[in-house]
Amino acid sequence: MAKLQVPKNTLSSADVDSNKITDAHLTVMWAIALWYNGVGIQHGSRVYHIGSTKPPALQTLIGCSDAEWNDIYGPAFEDLENRGGVVGKTLLRRTVPWAPTKELLITIDNLFSHHLERIVVPHSAFNSKLGHIGDPYESLTHRTAVEQVVSWLYEKGFDWKLYPGNVGHQRPDVRGITPFDAGQQTMMASKIEVISDHNNKKMYVKKYNMFSKDPSRTSLWIFKNRKLAAKGITWLSEINLSNYTGEEWPKCRIANTPLNNPENYSVQTLNNYLERSREKSTFTCTGLDYVQTIAGLYADRDDDIIRRPVTIWNADTAEITLVDDIGRSVSLSVDGLNHGGKLRMDEHIVNSCTNPEPPRKPQPSD
């Protein structure tokens, strides 16, 4: 198995202290950068992607041997950990010790933004000035949830739009778009918000108020787990929203609240309460139609397909491939990237593209 290659000339063009960064540091950070920005990493026939795979070990993403990890890359990772560059998180019921902090994301931005901008999916929310897709410093938990949403929509046959709405105004993380005439009142054809700051009550009110202003489309809130979902429902239902908004509208009164022992409620039960709140006039719930968890999105997919369009970095062949939403692909070698190449689909040259099988997700034994 070949190791993940790092683009050349990263230190010479970056505004960082190169004396503190070794080749091993660069490899570790590049693996994190690809994963964080939604680029699939392929070793052999297996593709690891933030939207379809549980976060693997960094050793797996890099593709190094046990000896190489113990002697080279493991110490580099520990050095980044000691500097406060990574922290431990639990994602999809798996411990992830390499979640990047804001400080490390700033370093990754300085090192790799000019390379990432040339290989990430075109027309994404990539910000070339900040080096990351979407919010440049959002947590790995939030980023994982957004990518899981997108892969979930893709597998169910729905289109999506990241960060829909006008810049400078409140907008959800994702909007699910039905490709057929099935109406907009469904969980998947919703405006979707990932709730990652569970202690920020003012944020809850802002999101609820935002969704209440557009009754033509349903809203789906993604929580880290069902306990936090139940606590969020109870909090919104029990407080006086006008104390936060300064207005009498919107209001929130959800059936069966308060929900004591919130860890005991399944997502299905919570959605049943929300449905009852929409249907009965004694309740009101204009800004919260459905809830789901990150693990629930992962479990609800029937297939292991990675959302498209997607960029795949093949460590074995040293090629980067962009696969569009109808299966066409175009590739760029790592050497081509080092010489300034840009991975972009040419809409006028369909014959130059292939139609590969969807990449297979790693099995539990991997």
- pLDDT tens string 60-106: 999 999 999 999 999 999 999 999 999 999 999 999 999 999 999 98
> CA angle 137-362-67, nearest 5°?
80
Specify the pLDDT at position 232: 95
Q: Do 292 and 321 reside in the same domain of the chain?
A: no
The band of 135, judged by pLDDT with boundaries at 50, 70 and 90, is low
Specify the pLDDT at position 222: 97
Q: Do 90 and 233 reside in the same domain of the chain?
A: no
- pLDDT tens string 227-244: 999 999 999 999 999 998
Domain that residue 281 falls in: 140-299
User: Is 211 inside a domain boundary?
Assistant: yes
Predicted structure pTM score: 0.88
- pLDDT tens string 143-174: 999 999 999 999 998 988 888 888 778 889 99
Q: Do 163 and 253 reside in the same domain of the chain?
A: yes
Q: Do 189 and 62 reside in the same domain of the chain?
A: no
The band of 351, judged by pLDDT with boundaries at 50, 70 and 90, is very low
Average pLDDT, the chain: 86
User: Is 363 inside a domain boundary?
Assistant: no
Q: Do 294 and 332 reside in the same domain of the chain?
A: no
Q: Do 334 and 263 reside in the same domain of the chain?
A: no
The structural domain count of the chain equals 2
Q: Do 226 and 269 reside in the same domain of the chain?
A: yes
> CA angle 306-65-97, nearest 5°?
60
Specify the pLDDT at position 343: 83
Q: What are phi and psi of 337, to 5 degrees?
A: -65, -40
The proportion of the chain whose per-residue pLDDT surpasses 70, expressed as a percent, equals: 86
Q: How many CB atoms lie within 10 A of CB 173?
A: 24
User: Is 133 inside a domain boundary?
Assistant: no
